[in-house]
Structures are given as C-alpha cells and as structure tokens.
Chain A
Amino acid sequence: MAKVLVVTSGKGGVGKTTSTAALGAALAQAGGKVVVVDFDVGLRNLDLIMGAERRVVFDLINVTQGVAKLQQALIRDKRLENLWLLPASQTRDKDALTDDGVRRVIADLRTKFDWVICDSPAGIERGAMLAMRYADEAVIVTNPEVSSVRDSDRIIGMLDSKTVKAEKGEQVKKHVLITRYDSSRAARGEMLSIDDILEILATPLLGIIPESQDVLRASNVGAPVTLSNAASAPARAYTDAARRLMGESIAMSVPTERVSFMNRLLGRRAA
C-alpha cells in the first residue's frame, strides 16, 4: 500500500529538499517505487538537487489544472529506474495550487507508487498546508537550534489539526529528523542536545544527519547525497533513516567525527 510522506519544517533552509532527495533515493535503492514531489511553487529546487533541471517540461500545477497528464510531467531518474520526480512550477503563482487539485494528484500517485514524498515549502502558510494535507506520515526536519525547534513545534500542531488524517480523528505518524548536527559543538554544550530536542518536541527520532561538506558536494553535482557518495557520513545516516521508515529497527548512532583531544584544544584556541 502506498505511503504519502511529507518532509516539512516550518523554518526555511533546514534541509527539507536535501532530505527529500536523499530519503527518496535511499528508499528507491531499497527497492521501493518512489516519487518525490516538489511543493515549493515558485521556488522549485528539488529538480536541481536531483540533477533533473534540464528535463522539466510539465509540472505539478500543469497536472492539477489538467494541462498535462501525470505521465507527461513525471521525470524518471537517470541513475535509479524506480525513482521519479514531479517538479514544481517555477513561474506560477503559489495560489495556482488548489486543495482539490492536490487531492486528485496525490490519489493518482498513490495508485502508481509505493512512496510519495512531498517536499514542503518553508513557512506555515497555504503551500506548507497543502504539502502536508494528504500525508500519512511526516518527517519534521529540525536543526539543533532554538528557532528551528520552535517552528517544528508549530508544524507538529498543524499536522495534528490541519491534515485530512487529523480531521478524520486519526494521526499523521510523525518523525523528527535532526539535520546539520555538529557533534563537536554539541559536546561543548553549544548546541541543543538530541535529548533536549526530543523531549521538547515529544516526537520519535528518525535519524541524525551530521553537518557535512558532502551535502554541498552532492548538490553541486546534482545527485542525492545517498547516491553521490554512499559511504559518506550523511549518506549512511539518511540510508539508516530510510530503513527506519520501512519499519526496520536500526540502532541509532550519533555521527561523530573522531577528533583528538589535542585537535580539540587547538580548535578551541583558534575559535
């Protein structure tokens, strides 16, 4: 049975698009048929991160308005044959997306894919609302930082009240994904700890993605980090998170770079 997953956060720039691409590719590599859907109308980026920007012909809004068929808008990944992208419109106004249009497209995608992963725009407005509206599960992307945690809390409130599941008296299954985690700063007590974040948000943890240059490198070449450098720390953390989404239980590891005591001293002196 298909699962609709929204990747959301409230706060902008925390890693939603990066996570959508990485989780989508990892789930596809594990054998699922996956579509990643860009809901960031007017500011699309998922096509770029997926390396498909030059292949976009039709987009989500074209499909909701009946200008194009779903099959015409879907772009198949060049590396993984069971990974697809439904891009957002770059030119259209974000009001062009309607609740009814989204409902129909999601229902259609459910019949064709195992995983429908919706990359939400930042904010708590209509666009973010529509991205989560038909979700079964939610990945709440959170950075270890006060404003991000506060926004995640608001998004959790929306997931519990504004989704179709919530309106039916059911619950969207929620997961917190902590990204851009810097273990050395955490060790120094400069960053909210994982335990603090989980206690405050009272939501189970899906994974911890370290701050890493590999993410930037992956975006430069237009590949999900799980594909561009599968052995890297963020790729391994995303792959584990994807397997947890599939229901496997995998021990949680806090990604740490091995920094010697001496280096830490020198690092502190330089700071």
Chain B
Amino acid sequence: MTMNLWRLFSSRKGSAPVARERLQILLAHERGLRSQPDLLGKLREEILSVISRHVSLDPDKVVVKMDRGKSVSTLEVDIELPNGLEGPIAAAAS
C-alpha cells in the first residue's frame, strides 16, 4: 500500500508533458516547411547562383538535402567543383 501511494503521487506528471514538448517542436518545424513548400529548391537555386558567380560548375553537381531530426534539423549542401581551381578558393574551403 505504501508503495502504491508513493507511486501515485510521484508519477503525477506522467508522459503527457513529453508528448506536448515533442509536438511543439515538430509542428513548429512542419509549419515552417508548409509555408515554404519548395524551400529546398529555392536554396539550391540561390546557392548555385552564388557559386556560379565565381566558379563555373555543373548544376547537377549541387545537392541540397534536409535532414529532419527530433530537435535539430540539418541542411546538407554537397557541391562538386571542377578540378584546377586557383589557390585562394581552395584555401578558404579548408
């Protein structure tokens, strides 16, 4: 009986607060995506145009990926540059 009473009061909070927090984070993220349905496409286009101002590159070699995590999402940008770049750019990239 003592044990049950203890459990009754100690577990008062339950799992609902966790559910609430997870939902708030997830929905903030999903609403953002909804209001910008082609966010990735736009990012890709603008990244491509910025890089192209300095280096000529193959548009197909620019890959932009979004990875949704529980609390953090990451944006992965993969750009394949042609060989034979001049020094300063190569240095800045390292």
Contact with B along A189-214 (1 / 0, CB 8 A): 11111001000100000000000000
Interface flags, A16-55, vs B, CB<8A=1, else 0: 0000000000000000000000000000000000000000
Other A-B pairs, 17, CB within 8 Å; known A200-B20, A200-B27: A146-B23, A149-B23, A150-B23, A150-B26, A150-B27, A188-B11, A188-B14, A189-B11, A189-B15, A189-B17, A190-B16, A196-B19, A196-B20, A200-B24, A265-B5, A268-B7, A268-B8
A153 touching B31, Cβ below 8 Å? yes
- When distances are taken between beta carbons in the complex, the residues of chain B under 8 Å from A180 are none
Interface presence of A243 (CB below 8 A)? no
Complex Cα distance, B7 from A193, in Å, reads 21
CB < 8 Å A-B pair total: 53
A189 engages B16 (CB within 8 Å): yes
Could you tell me the dominant secondary structure of chain B's interface residues? helix
Determine the distance from Cα of A189 to Cα of B14 in the docked complex, in whole angstroms.
4
CB-CB under 8 A from A196, the residues of chain B are 16, 19-20
Residues of A within 8 A of B8 (CB): 264-265, 268
Q: Does B45 touch A at the CB level, under 8 Å?
A: no
Interface flags for B19-56 (1: CB within 8 Å of A; 0: not) read 11011101100110010000000000000000000000
Q: Which 10 A-B pairs have the closest CB atoms?
A: A189-B14, A196-B20, A190-B14, A189-B16, A189-B13, A146-B19, A157-B34, A153-B27, A188-B14, A192-B19
Chain A residues with Cβ under 8 A from B19's Cβ? 145-146, 192, 196
Option from A157, A193, A200, A269 in Cβ contact (under 8 Å) with B16: A193
In the assembled complex, B4 has its CB within 8 A of some CB on chain A: yes
Interface assignment of A165: CB less than 8 Å from any CB of chain B? no
Q: Does A126 contact B (CB under 8 A)?
A: no
Q: Which of A149-188 touch B at CB < 8 Å?
A: 149-150, 153-154, 157, 186, 188
**13 A–B contacts from the bound complex (CB under 8 Å):** A149-B23, A150-B23, A157-B31, A188-B11, A188-B14, A189-B11, A189-B13, A189-B16, A191-B14, A192-B19, A196-B20, A264-B8, A268-B8
Closest residue on chain A to residue B26 by CB atoms: A150
CA of A200 to CA of B31, assembled, Å: 12
* Minimal Cβ-Cβ distance residue in B for A146: B19
Q: How far is the CB of A117 from chain B (nearest CB, A)?
A: 27
Interface residues of B (CB under 8 A from A): 4-5, 7-8, 11-17, 19-20, 22-24, 26-27, 30-31, 34
- Whether B27 and A191, one on each chain, are in contact in the complex, defined by CB atoms closer than 8 angstroms, is no
A interface residues, tally (CB under 8 Å): 20
Q: Tell me the nearest residue of chain B to A144, going by C-beta.
A: B16
Specify the chain A residue showing the minimal Cβ separation from B20: A196
**A68–B29 alpha-carbon span in the complex (Å):** 47
For residue A43, give the distance in angstroms from its CB to the closest CB of chain B.
27
Give the chain B neighbours of A264 by CB distance below 8 A: 8
Q: Which of B11, B15, B19 has the most CB of A within 10 A?
A: B19
CA distance A200 to B24 in the complex (A): 7
Task: Please give me the residue from chain B that is nearest to A266 by CB atom.
Answer: B4
Within the complex, which residue of B11, B20, B22, B30 is in contact with A154, where a contact is CB–CB below 8 Å? B30
Neighbouring B residues of A154 by C-beta, 8 Å = 30, 34
Q: Which residues of B contact A265 (CB under 8 A)?
A: 4-5, 8
- Which residues of A are found within 8 Å of B23, using beta-carbon distances? 146, 149-150, 192, 200
